[in-house]
Amino acid sequence: MKMKNIVLGVTGSIAAYKAADLANRLTKEGHTVNVVMTKNAREFVAPLTFSTLTKRPVYTDSFADTPDYDVEHIGLAKGADIVVVAPATANVIGKIAGGIADDLLTTVTMAAAGYGKPLLICPAMNTAMYENPIVKKNIEKLAALGYGFAEPRESVLACGDLGKGALADTDDIIKAIEAKLT
């Protein structure tokens, strides 16, 4: 895959630490990775981790001061070859499916979809949440609109439950990115 500009959205899941590996791998492959973190994601992993791995600023706030005037969510969306949300919580999937854009990540995804940019969502949550009919309907709705998904895998989850809900492996996410871009 030739070098791409990838927006990586990171949400508040224990799997956020795995997003650091994804950002690192994509950067080492020569891609530009712009990380957008939700407030809850920052409870699990510090922005410094991502900025160190990507050699780029990390975007965390819709209203942050910027050195040059830029409408960040629009600039990030326009410049992206793809937007990847990994991990994607039930909350952010529901917001995107419902058209709610109340933080930097959801405004970027909303704008990117409007510009016709490919989007890949990588769910990660407890099995009971993943299997919830509301979450399933939200995923079906987004898939019907052309959003791609990297299916979660079955594993022993952070809470100790065994089931489907663990973030897809990094290799599988990278393959899904490549497939979505071709």
Which of the following is catalytic: 64, 143, 159, 179?
A: 159
Secondary structure element (H or E) that encloses residue 94, with its range: helix 90-98
CA-CA distances (angstroms) from residue 14 to 38, 45, 73, 179? 13, 9, 25, 26
CA-CA distances (angstroms) from residue 163 to 7, 17, 19, 122, 137? 29, 20, 20, 16, 19
pLDDT in tens, 91-121: 999 999 999 999 999 999 999 999 999 999 9
Domain count, the chain: 1
Burial class (CB within 10 angstroms; exposed 0-12, middle 13-18, buried 19+) of 163: middle
Are 58 and 68 a contacting pair, CB within 8 Å? Answer: no
Task: Give the distance between the most distant pair of CA atoms in the chain.
Answer: 48
159 is catalytic: yes
pLDDT in tens, 141-175: 999 999 999 999 877 767 777 678 789 999 999 99
Task: For residues 119 and 45, give the distance between their C-alpha atoms in angstroms, rounded to a whole number.
Answer: 23
Whether the pTM exceeds 0.85: the reply is yes
Domain that holds residue 169: 5-181
CATH label of the domain that carries residue 143: 3.40.50.1950
